[in-house]
Amino acid sequence: MDPITHTLAGATMARAGLDRRTPLATAALLLGANAPDIDILTALGEANATLACRRGWTHGPLAMLALPFVIAGSLLVWDRYVRRRRSPSVPPAAGMALLQLSALGVLSHPALDWLNTYGIRLLMPFSSTWFRGDSVFIIDPWLWFVFAVGLIVVRRVRSTSASPWRFARISGSVALAYIAAMVALSVAGKRSGWKAAESIGIAGITEVLYSPRPATPLKADLVVRTADAYHPGSLAWQFSGARVTFTGIVIPRGDWSASVVQRAREVPAARNYLVWSQFPYVRLEVNGVDTTVFFGDARYRALPAGNLSGMSITLPRTNSR
């Protein structure tokens, strides 16, 4: 999910009563909720390095163990050498409570990231397998709204209510219910998409991607994967059930054995892109003495998703097949 969602989730957990555990509790939850995205620094590296590194090591089990200690330790240093020097009379932060809250914030991050079609490598560095929930668009304004309402109400009633935290708990519960509903729609939508694809003669289906549309939770894009092609479609939820339609477009997965494709895959930007791509396809275009190799990902073919949609490598046609 996007940083705003992670931050709002951390703030909601804090205002739900966890901020009473210890001084700096809110900071621990907010830092923990965003800490795994430190891998964004890889954007400073070579082309598409961030695609190859994002949602990898810093979202895996080793990071889930290490990051809470880094966050809690940093906050204890801040508490001792900054906060309590400025105000010697304030109570000190509790180290164990900060560690627990930091861990909770950190664990919330991959739980949210799993929900969308971008994917997350939950087992890095032990396995590079991608996991996807295919349930919530990566930027979901409905989650923003639910979290924000709870936080605003808590702030407004804090001075007049004996238990303002209950409003944050309500918004958190509504957010969890919304997420559960979206997961259920994804599971049912994939099943409906599979059946609809088979009914129009698409054979050899290996997977169906269900991709919710931005701000429209009852509509989704579908991609049916077969051994040699992708079949885009769409789904709309109605009172009578799922209405599935297919565009009739077929995206061949392409000839990955061609020598020019093998050469293009060695280009760092392409290699990094393909580490990230989960619905990859390749297309060749001959332009005079050159061949342009286009690597794409069928998940983002229909979206203005920048370099997620694909990339081109132009090579001399000398050794191409």
Structural domain spans, the chain: 3-133, 189-251, 254-316
State which residues of the chain have pLDDT below 50.
305, 319-321
Q: What is the pTM of this model?
A: 0.91
Could you tell me whether strands 290-297 and 280-287 are parallel, antiparallel, or unpaired per DSSP bridges?
antiparallel
The predicted structure's pLDDT at residue 290: 86
Alpha helices in 54-202 (DSSP H): 61-78, 84-86, 95-113, 141-157, 165-199
Q: Cis omega (within 30 of 0) on the bond before 125?
A: yes
Return the DSSP state at 212: E
Specify which residues 292 forms β-bridges with. Answer: 285, 314
Return the DSSP state at 228: S
The predicted structure's pLDDT at residue 302: 62
| Dist CA 246 CA 249 (whole Å) | 8
Ramachandran area for residue 116 (φ above 0: left; ψ -120 to 50: alpha; else beta): beta
Q: Which residues of 156-183 are buried (b: 16+ CB within 10 A; e: fewer)?
A: eeeeeeeebbbbbbbbbebbeebbeebb
The predicted structure's pLDDT at residue 157: 86
Q: Is 79 helix (H, G, I), strand (E, B) or coil?
A: helix
Burial class, 215, CB count within 10 angstroms (exposed 0-12 / middle 13-18 / buried 19+): exposed
Return the DSSP state at 283: E
The predicted structure's pLDDT at residue 320: 41
